[in-house]
Structure 1
Amino acid sequence: MTMHDDQVGVTTEIVAALVQEQFPRWSGKAIRPVASTGTVCAIFRIGDDLSARFPLRLTDAAETLAVLEQEAQASAELAQVSRFPAPEPVALGKPGVGYPMPWSVQTWLPGTVASDADPSGSDAFAEDLAALIASLRGAGTRGRVFSGENRGGVLTHHDDWMAKCFEESEGLLDVPRLRHMWSYFRELPRTGADVMSHGDLIPGNVLVAGDRLSGVLDTGGFGPADPSLDLVGAWHLLQPGPRDMFRRALVCDDLEWERGKAWAFEQAMGLVWYYIESNPTMSGMGRRTLDRILESTE
């Protein structure tokens, strides 16, 4: 089942043909699809050291290229400042037979995503996650500010989206309680200046080895945002004990902590209903995050 109405199909055969045509130096490498709960790109390995990412939703080719170029720049910047390994951009592919948009190639990072090897009870992982966020914040914005796209700006700008989420979630979730919670979250004032942020610290975007963080993925969104945005990882990735350790490591005051909870809430509300049939793992992650947030208020 496809996840989006405008989703573009990509097969191993299509990828192999595009690689052979556009990057013949890699044409002898095996092409393998990567099982993923991701919702933005289909991912294929090229040999052992590269991965190709194909946007799933159909958009204008020029628009897609601009996005991929910006993501490559952001990924390269994050890889330079992160305390943990991150993919580095290698090349951009063009539209070709079977696929109508540009696509990207980056280095492959070995490891297990946190959605497959749950580190949520690990204090060491919580400390690593805090160290990652601190290293990204330490990069400095160089005068840049939040772009206005997606999460990371003003909470009340998401009111229309949340209204749709509440409507779609009738019969799935305790909507009256969740509406009441959003009425509280949306009023939390913004006080801190933008910092550099990963922007999407969910289980599918971090790698683990044992009970430690071993790498960070999906780094194309690295940019300036609300300093509380990356605190979503506390709710998507951690149980209460490690979550407390994470908070202490980042020295979060009450307001920043609550705003981080608000961004996690906003993201989770959209995941539950939108992916309930097409991506049950992602939908379930949203439910788990909401449960953690609700439990923290009891």
Structure 2
Amino acid sequence: MAKPGVKEPNANQIDDSIYATEAKAGITKLKNSITGNAEDVAVTEKAVKSFLDESFDSSKSSNGYTKLPNGLILQWGITDPQNGFIAKSIMFPIAFTSVCFGVWVTLDKSQLSATTETVVSGHSTTGFLLTASVMNNLKLGIDEIAVLGDKINYLDDKMSMVNARDIINVIGRTAGSGSILGLKGDKISALASSFLSLGKAPEVASTAMNSLFNKLANIDGQDEKFKEALKSMGMDANYLKVAMQRDASGGLDMFLNALAKVDKRAQMGVLTDMFGSQADLNLTGSKRILSQKRANLALAQMIV
């Protein structure tokens, strides 16, 4: 006879097995691995740890990552922005499988200042370009830095012998003198990639560009040898000075074009009179440098 208030199970609801289910107590089966969706099995601590270790593949270093079971990848890292650097290529610890949804950057307290800004641009599955205006010699705003970063990446993509890391290296070394001369970031990056495309190492390209920028920025302060060398190129020092003041990039092109027209046998002598011991920096390739600079600048202008 049924007890009042107690629901008796039907015959087909009675489980005579000794094993526990969600509905009744009993013996619990244990497994040391998680392999399916069984509802009458419990797993051990070992199984859970093994599952988590396999599902959350990770690297717990300062530049590391975690892979979540649903396929999402989280990555982190630390980089040291050197004083005055314009941009820096950052590689992820591992490549994302299909797409990088975004990159977020924070600054260490010791790096904060009133002029410190960071911008991420050109991020891909393998890395991104970090640009910063810490002691920014180009005096670029945050949006301009992002555009410059995109232009550098574009030059990297389109030029087989040039990579963004080397362009950034040269810009970091020449931004100060280039800015004093009146050149903007895209002009400096175009000239940097021109030197690099001719096989110059970043250090050599930087030295050549700084020497060139410093001379042209202070034409009045140059000696008579420099001014006589200009005359031999068919240029007047005062005219070049005014041209540089009105349009630094156009004046630079004018100088390189005039140098390119000098007889090759006389070019080294002209350069020695202008740059002294630094005449061996291969400005004798001025025609190729000018042509490549124009092509590179045209490429860079495609990114706006």
TM-score range normalised by the length of the shorter chain: under 0.3
Q: Which has the higher contact order (CA 8 A, sep 6+)?
A: 1
With structure 1 as the length reference, what TM-score do the two structures score? 0.23
Q: TM-score, normalized by length of structure 2?
A: 0.23
Highest CA radius of gyration, 1 or 2?
Answer: 2
